[in-house]
Structure 1
Amino acid sequence: MKISIAMTVKACALLALTSLVSIAATQPNIVFIFADDMGYGDVQVLNPERGKIPTPHIDALARDGMIFTDAHTSSSVCTPSRYSLMTGRYNWRTTRQAGVLGGFGNPLIPTGRMTVASLLKAQGYRTAMIGKWHLGMNLPKGQGMNNIDWSGTITGGPFDLGFDYYFGISASLDMPPYIYIENDKFVGECTTTKAFFRKGPAHEDFEAVNVLDDLAEKAVEFIEKQEASTPFFTYIALPSPHTPIVPTPEWKGKSELGAYGDFQMQTDAFVGQIVAAVDAGGFSQNTIIIVSSDNGCSKAAGIPALEAKGHFPSAQFRGSKSDLWDGGHRVPFIVRWPAIVEAGSQSDELICLTDFMATCAELSGGELPADAGEDSVSFLPALKGDSIESTRAGIVHHSISGHFAYRMGKWKLLLSKGSAGWTSPTEKQMPKESPNAQLYDLGADPGETTNLYESHPEVAARLLAQLESDVARGRSTEGPAAKNDTNRINLWKITK
C-alpha cells in the first residue's frame, strides 16, 4: 500500500495539532516580568520611528508572541498599580487615595484578600516572587537602626500573600532599608547608612548597581529548579529602569543615549536571561511570558535630553509617569505563549492590568469568589485571537495626585484641567477659566491635543455617570455589589 506525501503531511499536521491541544489543556506556567518606569516608547518594537534604545530580547518576544497596543496600569505610579496587578481590584478602592508607600510602609493588601499568587497556589502552582514589592510589610520592631529587629520575622509581605518563595527588596531601589529580604527574613542586618537618592539604613554589602544582576540570578535559579509535573508562577518585579539609574560597567555607554538608555538595555538583557532559562528548561511551549511596566517613563530619565537625541519614551502619547494622560499609564504589554498565541500577532483590545487576576483564574481552572478581582476581566480570549467578552463598561485611570479619568471605547474623560501629575501644564499651572475637565477622542487624537469637553457634553456626561456607578458599586464587573475600603473617594479634586 502506497502512502502519498500529501497524506503524510496531513497526518503530521494532525499530530502536531493534537499535541498543541494536549499542551494547552494543561495548566500553563506563568512568568510575569514587571519593569519599573519603563515607558511605552522605551521598547523598540513599539516605537520604531521614535525609539532609539535597542531592546532585542523584548522585541524577540513580540516577534514570537502578541503585542497589546492598548494596555493600561490602574495608576500612573507604582504602589497603586502593583496593588491592582496583584488583586484585580482598583487601587483607589483602598484607603490610599494618592501617592506611594515608602520602604517602611505598612501592608496595603490585607492577608485575607485573594491575590494572583494565592489563587494560583490553591490551583496547585508553585509560586515565587523575585524583586521589588512596594506594597508594604510589617517590619519587626526592635532596637536596631530605625527601631527594626533585623533578625525578626516580617509579616504581611509576599510570603504571607500566596508566594511560596520571595527574594527581593521592600520598595523601590531608591528607598531604604537597603537590604535583601528572603521569604520573611532579612538577609543579614543593616549596620550602616547609605543614600541611593534617599538616605537610610543599609546592609554593608548592599549596592544598588548590583541589584539587577542579583535578582536575575535568583529568578533563573528558581526557574531551573522547576519540574514539568508541577506548574509554576513567578512574578519578577524589576527595580529598573527606575532611579537610581545605575547600569553596570558592562552596559555603560552601550545606548549612546546616556545612563537611562544603558539601564533600559540592561533591563532588556534581564528579560533575555529569563526567556533563555524558560527555554533551556524545556518549558517554552506551555509557558506564558508577559513583559509589562508599572507606569510610564519617569522624568528622572531626563526626557527632554532623550527627545533631543530622537528618543521619545512615551512614543506618540502625551505625558509620562504620574499623569492622567496616556503617557502616564499606557504601558508595554507583550505576551509569548507558543502553544496558543500566534507569533507576530497584535491585539488592540482595551485592557487594564487588573485583568491579570481573572485571566489567571481562567488559565488555571480556578474561580474568583465575589470578594476578589472586582475589577478584573480575563483577556484569555484575546490571546486566542478572539474578542474579549467584557462585563465592564470601561476602565478607570488614576494619577499620582488621585485625579480620576474614565476610558470607554475611543472616548476618554479626565476630571482634571491639566496633567494631574508632574507634566506641564499641571493643575496649578492651568488658567482658572480653563474647562473643569478634558474629553478626548483617542481614535482621532491619540496624543490628547484637542479638548472636546465643552463641545460634546453628552459624551462627558455618559462617561461620568459610568465612573460614578463603578465607584459606588465597589466593583466595575458583573457580580454582587461590593464595598470600598473607604467612603472618602473624591472624584473631583478641582473647584467646579
Structure 2
Amino acid sequence: CGNRGTSGVPEKHGFDIFFGYYDQVHAHSYYPKYLIRNSEEVMLEGNEGYYYKGETHAQDRIFEVSIKFIRDNADKPFFCYLPWTPPHGVWGIDEDDPSYIHFKDKPWKVQKSWREDDAIRYAALLHKTDRQIGKIFKLLKELDIDKNTIVFVCGDNGGQSYFRSDEMPYGLFGPNVNPETGEVFKGQKGNIYEGGLKIPMVVRWPGKIEPGTQSDFVWYFPDVIATVADLVNIEKPADCDGLSILPTLINKGIQEKHKYMFWTGGGRWA
C-alpha cells in the first residue's frame, strides 16, 4: 500500500482504522517490533523482529483489534477487511498455541526449508486461521447480526508446492488440483497460469445464500467492491473494474459477465 505518509495508505482510501503491516517484507515476521495503526507505530511487547521468536504474535494482535472493531460497530453497518497473514512464510507460531500443539507430533520433517518443523508450523498457521474465522462466525451469532452480515472468504493466489522432495515432487501437502476435474493445475503461486490464478471463494449469508450452493461463475477481487456497493445501494467507485456478483450469490436477477480479465506478472500477460 506504500510507506507511511504516502498516498497509498489505507486510511487515505476510505478506511477509518487500519492496523497491521504496511508492506509484504515487514509481514515476513510474525514477531515484528511494531505494527502500524493509521501510519503510527504500535510497539509489540517482547519482540525483536525475529522470525521464530518473540512474546507477541502479530496475528493475535491484529485479530484482537478486528474483533473489537466488529463489537464496537455491531449496531450499525460496517465493513471489516481482515487479510490474514498466515500461512505466509516465515512460519513463526507460539509453541503453546493450540494449533501448534495440535500438529507438533506429526512426522512432517523437511530438509529444504529454514527449519525441519516448518511443515508442522505451516499446517498450524493454516489451522489457526481456520480457528479465527470460526471465532468470527461465533461472534456474529453472539451479537445477533449473523443473518444481516455477509462474509467473503478467499485466498490470494493458487497453491504452492512447499516442502518438495524427490519422493514428493508436489510437496508434502500434495499437488495443486483442479477440484472440478481432479487434474493437476498447470502452474502455481507466482505465475499467471491457471494454477496460479484460479482459486475458490466461499460466501456466507444466512437466509440469503442457500447452504451448499456452488457456482462456476468466473470472478476476481474488484468484483467484491462492486458487490458490496450493490448490497448497500450505492454506486461503485468510478475507477472500479469490478461487477456485482449479487445475482449469482442470491440466484436472482441477470448476472453481468466480464468481457475479459487481465493479469500481468514476471513479464507475462494473461
Judge same fold: TM > 0.5, yes or no. Answer: yes
Residue identity opposite 1:245 in structure 2: W
Q: 2:155 aligns with which of 290, 293, 296?
A: 293
The answer to whether residue 34 in structure 2 is matched with residue 179 in structure 1 is yes
Q: Structure 1 CA distance, aligned partners of 2:204 and 2:49?
A: 39
CA drift at 1:294: 1.4
Distance 1:321 1:352 in 2: 16
On the 8 A contact 1:216/1:274 being kept in 2, the answer is: no
Alignment of 1:401-440 (within 5 A): 401-405=266-270
Q: Within 2, Cα distance between the matches of 1:367 and 1:226?
A: 23
Match of residue 163 from structure 2: 302
Question: What is the deviation of 1:307?
Answer: 4.5
Query: Equivalent residue for 2:64?
Result: 217
Following TM superposition, by how much is the alpha carbon of 1:313 offset from its aligned partner in structure 2, in angstroms? 4.5
| Deviation of 1:303 (Å) | 4.9
Shift of 1:252: 2.3
What are the Cα deviations for residues 323-351 of structure 1, in whole angstroms up to 9, with x where unaligned? Answer: 11222111231000013101111111111
The equivalent of 2:221 in structure 1 is: 353
| CA distance in 2: counterparts of 1:308 and 1:391, whole angstroms | 36
Shift in alpha-carbon separation, 1:189–1:233, aligned structure 2, 3 A: closer
Query: In the TM superposition, what are the counterparts of 1:214-363 in structure 2 within 5 Å?
Result: 214-228=61-75, 230-249=76-95, 250=97, 251-252=99-100, 254-255=102-103, 256=106, 257=108, 258-299=120-161, 301-303=162-164, 307=170, 309=172, 311-314=174-177, 316-363=184-231
* Distance in 2 of aligned mates of 1:367 and 1:217: 32
Unaligned segments of structure 1, at least 5 residues? 1-134, 140-153, 198-205, 406-496
The question of whether the paired residues in 2 share the 8 Å contact of 1:379 and 1:388 is answered with no
Match of 2:233? Answer: 365
How far the C-alpha of 1:221 sits from its partner, in A, is 1.4
- Secondary structure of 1:352's aligned partner: coil
CA distance in 1, matches of 2:93, 2:81: 22
Residue number among 139, 161, 164 corresponding to 2:16 in the alignment? 164
Letter in 2 for 1:347: S
State the secondary structure of the residue aligned to 2:126. helix
Distance 1:383 1:272 in 2: 21
Structure 1 residue 390: Cα displacement: 2.2
Contact 2:33 2:44 in 1 (8 A): no
**Alignment partners' CA distance in 1, 2:77 and 2:21:** 25
- What residue number does 1:58 align with? none
1:174 is aligned with what amino acid?
Answer: H
1:396 aligned counterpart, secondary structure? coil
Residues of 2 paired with 1:211 and 1:232: CA distance? 23
Q: TM-score with structure 2 length normalisation?
A: 0.78
SS at match of 1:372: coil
Q: How many residues are aligned here?
A: 244
Q: Which amino acid aligns with 2:28?
A: D
> For residue 4 of structure 2, what is the aligned residue in structure 1?
138
Q: TM-score, normalised by structure 1?
A: 0.45
Query: Match for residue 111 of structure 2?
Result: none
8 A Cα contact 2:32 2:44, kept in partner: no
Offset, 1:289: 0.8
Identical-pair percentage: 26
Q: 1:359 to 1:321 in 2, by over 3 A?
A: same
Q: How far apart, CA to CA, are the structure 2 residues paired with 1:307 and 1:397?
A: 25
Alignment partners' CA distance in 2, 1:163 and 1:260 = 30
Amino acid of the structure 1 residue aligned with 2:187: G
Q: 1:295 to 1:207 in 2, by over 3 A?
A: farther
Going from structure 1 to structure 2, the CA distance change for 1:243 and 1:207 (only over 3 Å counts) comes to same
1:246 to 1:342, Cα distance in 2 relative to 1, 3 A: same
Instruction: List alignment gaps of at least 5 residues for structure 2.
Output: 109-119, 179-183
Alignment partners' CA distance in 1, 2:264 and 2:197: 9
CA distance in 2, matches of 1:208, 1:302: 27
CA distance in 1, matches of 2:74, 2:219: 32
Q: Check 1:391–1:325 CA distance in 2 against 1; reply closer, same or farther (3 A cut).
A: closer
